[in-house]
């Protein structure tokens, strides 16, 4: 029997515990004291540790996993979508239908108040283009309108919205952003990489009460999916965002643990406020420095020289960097920069490549050589597979999100949802990582050419690898004595269920720090 000095507050028995701990891969029961795991073992011996006040949960033979870690998402954007107009392709498959939904919403919103929408996808729309201000002006002349692309990297404003934002033909493109213009030089309403620009200049009417309502809904959604930790990858995160997150944690609006990346443009203020990498605590901590690297109008933005300069400054300040890379040109540039950065201090986790969306074999070798962790998004294959099959060049399709080849090459991989770009539910993503099928059950790519990965690997990438990607593996990410009691009980054993059933797995109970934070039916 394990030798422990305190009586457990909680025992979960009669489970199939998939621990992600190589020294004890499976167990029947777990004992918890306060917020930590005290012991892991067989139900009889663990139950023998119980005291008169120990709460005992019978897992009824279900699977117990470490709490999931979403290694790349955007919490406040997810919270906002709970209060905005849904324009995802299944709700609005055309520009005309987006305009109609805006019209219907504007009928009930007071004149002058922003109409906020999210989730449109230009490639999935019937017109195969972005909506523009002309599509929105006639149906919303008294309301400023903002429609955000599903990726978060494009935004459409109507003419009134452009005026409020101070954008006209004479407005220069901001650093890292592009104002799309027509043949006369007038803004079309389509803006690329201008989220921060708009946030600094426009009051979108987000009251604190609305913020709290949105975060409460997002927190409950994440817990219902078994997500107990998240990494917020906002490129505009700075000291004010940190203080906002601290308030949400302190008043228990947010129960999910959060690691906040710092936007590279805000790093100076973060350091000046006395923060260093890993600052904070187990509920809120400071993580990597986020850099955006995109291919806009055919060239890298920022340039290789500027990227190296920004990344070197962050590294010399003791921070690892996380570089947003979708296009293969961006991935290649990021690997070269990361390879040439100064050494990180001991105990600091590796640099990261976020998304690594397009990655052919030669580029996979460069990624491996860089020693960067790849934080990628198998959920994109699930939800966007049909669009990729239709719109991505056939020769490139086998190398979109090549999780299997990267894993086989020894690249460290963790999973993130990039929510609210897609639903943060990890199980559809796990299904697609294992099967390489989309939500319709069709293989991606249709021509074949890439196998999935083992289910054990996908769970690892959502748990202990997520902790390793942020440097918290010493106290979370697996079910082992001494680690935080962040756990999720699910309704099927992912190791034995047919792969087609993976996407339907549902949590029954989510535990954060030894407390039952959510229970399903």
Domain ranges across the chain: 1-61+479-521, 69-75+206-472, 89-149+154-192
> To 10 degrees, what angle do helices 455-462 and 426-435 make?
140
Assigned CATH for 69-75+206-472: 3.20.20.140
Q: Which residues pair with 291 in a beta bridge?
A: 323
d(CA 51, CA 48): 8
CA nearest to 67, candidates 447, 497, 462, 520: 462
Relative to beta strand 29-33, strand 10-13 is antiparallel
Count other Cβ atoms within 10 Å, centred on residue 23.
8
1-61+479-521 CATH fold = Urease, subunit C; domain 1 (2.30.40)
CA nearest to 429, candidates 72, 93, 75, 91: 72
Q: Which residues of the chain register pLDDT less than 70?
A: 1-3, 206, 449
Q: What pLDDT does 199 receive?
A: 86
Contacts of 391 (CB under 8 A, 6+ apart): 123
Count other Cβ atoms within 10 Å, centred on residue 514.
21
Q: What pLDDT does 297 receive?
A: 74
Q: CA torsion, points 367, 75, 221, 148, in degrees to nearest 10?
A: -90
Are 367 and 349 spatial neighbours (Cβ–Cβ below 8 Å)?
A: no
Q: What pLDDT does 2 receive?
A: 67
Q: Which residues pair with 73 in a beta bridge?
A: 232
Q: What pLDDT does 3 receive?
A: 64
């Amino acid at each position: 029997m394990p030798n422990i000095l305190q009586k457990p507050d909680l025992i979960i028995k009669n489970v199939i515990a998939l621990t992600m701990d190589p020294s004890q891969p499976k167990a029947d029961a777990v004992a918890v004291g306060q917020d930590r795991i005290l012991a892991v073992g067989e139900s009889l011996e663990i139950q023998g540790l119980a005291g008169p006040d120990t709460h005992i949960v019978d897992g009824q033979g279900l699977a117990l996993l470490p709490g999931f870690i979403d290694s790349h998402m955007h919490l406040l954007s997810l919270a906002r979508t709970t209060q905005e107009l849904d324009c995802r392709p299944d709700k609005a498959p055309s520009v005309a239908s987006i305009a109609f939904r805006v019209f219907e919403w504007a009928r009930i919103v007071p004149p002058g108040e922003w109409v906020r929408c999210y989730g449109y996808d230009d490639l999935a729309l019937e017109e195969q283009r972005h909506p523009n201000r002309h599509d929105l002006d006639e149906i919303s002349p008294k309301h400023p309108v903002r429609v955000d692309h599903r990726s978060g990297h494009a935004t459409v404003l109507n003419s009134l919205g452009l005026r409020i934002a101070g954008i006209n033909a004479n407005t220069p493109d901001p650093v890292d952003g592009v104002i799309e213009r027509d043949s006369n030089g007038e803004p079309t309403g389509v803006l690329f990489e201008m989220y921060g620009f708009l946030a600094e200049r426009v009051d979108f009417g987000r009251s604190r009460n609305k913020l709290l309502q949105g975060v409460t809904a997002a927190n409950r959604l994440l817990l219902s999916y078994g997500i107990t930790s998240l990494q917020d990858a906002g490129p505009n995160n700075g000291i004010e965002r940190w203080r906002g997150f601290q308030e949400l944690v302190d008043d228990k609006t947010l129960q999910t643990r959060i690691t906040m990346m710092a936007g590279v443009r805000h790093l100076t203020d973060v350091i000046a406020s006395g923060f260093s990498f890993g600052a904070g605590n187990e509920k809120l901590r400071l993580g990597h420095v986020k850099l955006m690297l995109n291919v806009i109008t055919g060239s890298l933005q920022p340039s290789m020289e500027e990227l190296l300069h920004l990344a070197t400054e962050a590294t010399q300040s003791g921070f690892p960097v996380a570089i947003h890379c979708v296009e293969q040109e961006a991935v290649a540039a990021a690997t070269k920069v990361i390879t040439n950065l100064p050494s990180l201090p001991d105990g600091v986790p590796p640099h990261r490549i976020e998304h690594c969306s397009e990655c052919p074999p030669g580029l996979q070798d460069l990624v491996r050589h860089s020693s960067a962790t790849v934080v990628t998004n198998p959920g994109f294959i699930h939800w966007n597979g049909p669009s990729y099959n239709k719109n991505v060049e056939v020769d490139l399709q086998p190398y979109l999100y090549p999780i299997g080849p990267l894993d086989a090459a020894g690249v460290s991989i963790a999973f993130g949802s990039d929510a609210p770009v897609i639903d943060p539910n990890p199980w559809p993503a796990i299904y697609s990582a294992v099967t390489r099928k989309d939500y319709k059950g069709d293989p991606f790519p249709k021509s074949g050419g890439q196998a999935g990965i083992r289910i054990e690997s996908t769970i690892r990438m959502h748990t202990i690898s997520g902790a390793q990607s942020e440097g918290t593996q010493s106290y979370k990410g697996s079910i082992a004595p001494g680690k935080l009691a962040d756990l999720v009980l699910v309704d099927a054993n992912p190791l034995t269920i047919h792969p087609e059933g993976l996407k339907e797995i549902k949590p029954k109970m989510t535990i954060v720090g030894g407390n039952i934070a959510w229970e399903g039916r």
